[in-house]
Structure 1
Amino acid sequence: MKKLENKIAVVTGGNSGIGFATAKLFALEGAKVAITGRNSVTINEAVEQIGHGSIGLVSDAGNIDGISSAYEDITSKLEGKIDVLIVNAGNFLGAPLTDFTEDLFDQTVNINFKGVFFAVQRALPFLNDGASIVLTSTALNEKGLGMAAAYSASKAAVRSLARSFSSELLSRNIRVNVMSPGAIDTPLFARTGGSKEEVDGAKAYFASAAPAKRLGTVDEIAAGFLYLASDDSRYMIGGELVLDGGVKTL
């Protein structure tokens, strides 16, 4: 029996990296999958690779007004309410504290915190009772890392939201949990704007900093999302699954 047989699953930021790997795995496990992202080209490419009748919609996680219409389209096209919601869309904008601008701060908070809050709020009319919501945080939500203060704080806020949302949604038997990855080998490294040498150096640094002595893979994180999305984690409410190669334990 597939773990998400006939479930409707939505993965925001599902057109690349961790979100894409998660959407692919969910489809293989029997879910009817919808992904969202900001780039129509990569969304279409992702949907083609995911297959299994998946659909994709252009939706900006920082645009609150467009969230409800996205859910409306998804539930109409997939002919049912949502059973699994993976709120994965996020960004990383790093800079020294002395150089961090208000614009960088707003971009970080609008997607990583405000976007997550309203992604869940606006989903409520479109969720089945008993649904599973998983929010993507980071192993840095309890660590101090230079040049990542706003990012880490925004993801710590996400960890807090899961507890509060869980309390409010108990009457509908909706579980809200958190996935906190460590450094994962994704296209996000290349989007920092650095040269190939700088990107490779960053990957090597984070790999060496982990007790596992390597970066995590998107497939390892996708397996964690599957656990949180399925009935395997039915006793987990407001919890956090950390997959970081041991960074958070040391």
Structure 2
Amino acid sequence: MSTEAGQLAGKTALVTGGSTGIGFASAKRLAEEGAHVFVTGRREAALDEAVAAIGSARATAVAGDVSRAADVDRLYAAVRARGRGLDVVFANAGTGAFATLEETTGEHLDAIFGTNVRGTVLTVRGALPLLNDGASVILNSSVRADDGVPAFGAYAASKAALRSFARTWANELKGRGVRVNAVSPGTIDTPGLDAVAAGDADPAAVRARFAGATPLGRIGRPEEVADAVVFLASARSSFVLGANLYVDGGENQV
């Protein structure tokens, strides 16, 4: 499909954590549907590679850490300078690591909640003055918010917080015609999964365990989540508000 004929032709989107994995796949799909996509992340070189892959005419990289207010302000200054506002915000940036309750430290909590919760709040709050009427805000939650995977408590709690925010913000912003929803991926084949698995003594066993817990019998692809993000970003989901769309191969459904 040409970008001119896409569902999001003429729209402006933002994807945080957009240099790899689900974020990159989503930024690429949004651009393919016609949106100009602002992509942010902490690694400038990776962002430049992502923009080159998407196409510089369709994407703008702004390096920064969404847990830092000054970086978020700088990001939105770039969006404001373009003069088109925002039609789509995909608050995707996140991090995770294993730690049992006994092993959990303040530093572990700060790292997880700093990016996953504080970063999402700063991202969406900062977007408010730029959101066009009818904009779509999508939060990246997780199936882990619903279960009790051992040693993944902080990550799960942070993602449960995002699911709760999606409901609250949907009510707060509905008067502007802004729709807020969440997407909850299952286990997806991303660098983040590799990093989490690397924290275990047997990374291959971690991946096999996650795949085995999925009724479809495999780990998902970032592009499969990106398709769900495009749906929530587009007018095709115009009657979807405060929802949580699972993309988990049935893991938490059957």
TM-score bucket (shorter structure) = over 0.9
1:150 Cα shift?
0.8
Shift in CA distance, 105/17, structure 1 to aligned 2, threshold 3 Å = same
Matched, 1:162 2:166: yes
Distance in 2 between residues matched to 1:104 and 1:61, nearest whole Å: 17
Q: What is the aligned partner in structure 2 of residue 47 from structure 1?
A: 51
Q: What is the aligned partner in structure 2 of residue 68 from structure 1?
A: 73
Q: What is the aligned partner in structure 1 of residue 87 from structure 2?
A: 83
1:195 Cα shift?
8.2
- Secondary structure (helix, strand or coil) at the match of 1:132 reads strand
Matched, 1:58 2:78: no
Shift in CA distance, 207/123, structure 1 to aligned 2, threshold 3 Å = same
Deviation per CA, 1:72-125: give whole Å up to 9, x if none: 11231x331010000000000211211111110111111111211121111101
Matched, 1:249 2:253: yes
1:196 Cα shift?
10
TM-score, normalisation: structure 1: 0.96
Matched, 1:209 2:216: no
Matched, 1:233 2:242: no
Distance in 2 between residues matched to 1:194 and 1:226, nearest whole Å: 31
Instruction: Work out which of the residue numbers 93, 99, 123 in structure 1 matches 2:97.
Output: 93
Deviation per CA, 1:145-188: give whole Å up to 9, x if none: 10111110110010000111011111111000000000001111
Gaps of 5+ in 1: none
TM-score, normalisation: structure 2: 0.94
Matched, 1:4 2:8: yes
- Secondary structure (helix, strand or coil) at the match of 1:144 reads coil
Q: What is the aligned partner in structure 1 of residue 183 from structure 2?
A: 179
- Secondary structure (helix, strand or coil) at the match of 2:76 reads helix
Q: Letter of the 1:181 partner, please give it.
A: P
Q: What is the aligned partner in structure 1 of residue 113 from structure 2?
A: 109
Matched, 1:222 2:226: yes
Q: Letter of the 1:30 partner, please give it.
A: G
Q: CA RMSD in A?
A: 1.5
**Mapping of 1:15-54 within 5 angstroms?**
15-51=19-55, 52-54=57-59
Contact 2:197 2:207 in 1 (8 A): no
- Secondary structure (helix, strand or coil) at the match of 2:83 reads coil
Distance in 1 between residues matched to 2:187 and 2:153, nearest whole Å: 16
Contact 2:66 2:122 in 1 (8 A): no
Contact 1:183 1:206 in 2 (8 A): yes
Contact 1:189 1:199 in 2 (8 A): no
Contact 2:197 2:206 in 1 (8 A): no
1:197 Cα shift?
8.4
133-142 vs 61-70, greater mean Cα deviation: 61-70
Deviation per CA, 1:180-219: give whole Å up to 9, x if none: 0000011112223728983322211100111110001011
Contact 2:187 2:220 in 1 (8 A): yes
Contact 1:27 1:54 in 2 (8 A): yes
Q: Letter of the 1:48 partner, please give it.
A: A
State the number of aligned residues: 249
Q: What is the aligned partner in structure 1 of residue 192 from structure 2?
A: 188
1:59 Cα shift?
1.4
The percentage of aligned residue pairs carrying the same residue is: 38
200-209 vs 238-247, greater mean Cα deviation: 200-209
59-68 vs 87-96, greater mean Cα deviation: 59-68
Distance in 2 between residues matched to 1:151 and 1:130, nearest whole Å: 31
